[in-house]
Structure 1
Amino acid sequence: MRKQSWLILFGIDGLINLFSITANWHWLTLVSKSLLMPFLIAWFVSNIPDNSRPRLYVMAALFFSWLGDVFLLVDEPKFFMAGLASFLFAHLLYIFFFASVIYAQTEKQKWNPWISGAVFLYAILLFFFLRPHLGALQTPVFVYAATIATMLVCSIQAFKNNGNRQTYFCIAGAALFVLSDSLLATNKFYQPFAGASFGVMLSYIMAQYCIVRGAITYLSRN
């Protein structure tokens, strides 16, 4: 199959997923969501055939994202915790990928304290906003929030001065991931709101696509 065919399948499946959410077709939502990451993995692997460590980080992050997607299909506390753990590993692996990009830089870029501070401040404020509603999940949610904030900061550090606009997709993807998780957490722990599921999945689908597109561009050049 041609490389772009996997991306087309991912896009079609994403549209089906969003449509099924709007139409409230639960079974189609479950099936389409479970296929998103396999299509994205296939697109990534077909474009980057080597076995470099950064490539393996991205592949593993997508695999754990798929596990998280599957676990979150079941609306039970133990499956939610399994999904949270899966996405935590996915974010850690994306951090490893961004860290490998930072390490490979010939000219090390200084960390911007204002950007890092703003990202972590947002994560802290969101956590304290949700804290009264978290119950026994305060520690896991705090760790998760700190991890995804670190992922966004590392993506900015890795690609802000990369010299190729295509790799800026990684920064956009990490930011969209923060948005998606923020919407999910607000809907689940604070107050359900109209369009939450659609917003969560739209930002999630775009986040994963952007990170993978940026990664493909970077790894193809290096």
Structure 2
Amino acid sequence: MKPAAWHIAFIAVMVLYFTGMALQNDTLQFFFKPLLVSTLLGMFISETAGVASPFKKWIAGALVCSVAGDTLLMFANNNERYFILGLVAFLIAHVFYILCFHFIKVKASIPGKWYAAIIVGVYYFFMMSFLLPHLGALKIPVLVYGIVISFMLLLAMLLYDLPDQVAARTILTGAIFFVVSDSVLAINKFYHPAAWGGWAIMSTYVLAQWLLTRGMIRYIRQEERL
């Protein structure tokens, strides 16, 4: 499929999925949820075809693991094991994002920033302190997941110094929305479910994945021109 076709497919899937949410139609949601990131993967592969970049495999891996995580979490209400497996899938997805952002940081010779580490550390400390009394048997997995996604956010913040500011801001905004989505999911699951929780989780998640994909497509294509 051509890039334009993948864009249309993504928009169509997104509209159908959120229609399923609005109608509380489990069949529509079940069918289209795994296709949300699948169409982004198709878009990424299509728009970076022919570009030799070492970063392509990390983003492809992150998107594939995200599709696996989306699929596994659909069964989480019936069996807690699926929630743990979904958590592991997304943890691996974040590891792929971390590796990608780290190698970009090294290639661009971007230094670390103490204030960025403090901002992320404060977020992690307060979020985990709030959730800790409610985590039960999932305390260790959630604490580890929190460390991983916080590190992903930190690296995305460091990439703000990339020469291509559009790519840098797109990637950072995507990382922020990912953290927001996962934070709302954790509060919704472990503390208190809200009626609007599902909408907040999925809208920020879809936006996060789209922004990360678009940012990396732009970065990889700009890299080819250098």
Instruction: Classify the TM-score, shorter chain.
Output: over 0.9
User: Is residue 2:175 matched to residue 1:174?
Assistant: yes
**1:3 is aligned to 2:6:** no
Question: Following superposition of structure 1 onto structure 2, how do residues 1-222 of structure 1 map, counting pairs within 5 Å?
Answer: 1-49=1-49, 50=51, 52-74=53-75, 75=77, 76-105=79-108, 108-222=109-223
Amino acid at match of 1:166: A
1:113, distance to aligned residue in structure 2 (A): 1.3
- Code of the residue aligned with 1:203 in structure 2: it is T
In 2, Cα distance between equivalents of 1:168 and 1:211: 10
Shift in Å at residue 51 of structure 1? 5.2
Gap runs ≥5 in structure 2: none
- Report % sequence identity: 31
Q: Separation in 2 of the partners of 1:120 and 1:12?
A: 38
The SS at the match of 1:125 is: helix
Q: Distance in 1 between matches of 2:113 and 2:107?
A: 19
**Corresponding letter in the other structure for 2:20:** S
Instruction: Say which SS state the counterpart of residue 53 (structure 1) adopts.
Output: coil
TM-score normalised by L of structure 2? 0.93
What are the Cα deviations for residues 100-150 of structure 1, in whole angstroms up to 9, with x where unaligned?
A: 111111xx3332211221112111211110111101111110110011010
Task: State which drifts further: 65-74 or 47-56.
Answer: 47-56
Q: What's the C-alpha RMSD, in Å, of the aligned pairs?
A: 1.2
Matching residue's letter, 2:192? Q
Deviation at 1:15, TM superposition (A): 2.1
Q: Distance in 2 between matches of 1:25 and 1:100?
A: 42
- Tell me, in whole angstroms, the C-alpha distance in 2 between the residues paired with 1:39 and 1:163: 25
Which whole-Å CA distance do the structure 2 matches of 1:187 and 1:51 have between them? 41
Amino acid across the alignment from 2:166: R
**How far apart are the structure 1 equivalents of 2:212 and 2:95?**
14
C-alpha contact 1:167 1:215 (8 A) present in aligned 2:
no
Q: Structure 1: how far apart are the matches of 2:59 and 2:80?
A: 28
TM-score by length of 1: 0.95
Query: Structure 1 residue 48: deviation in Å?
Result: 0.8
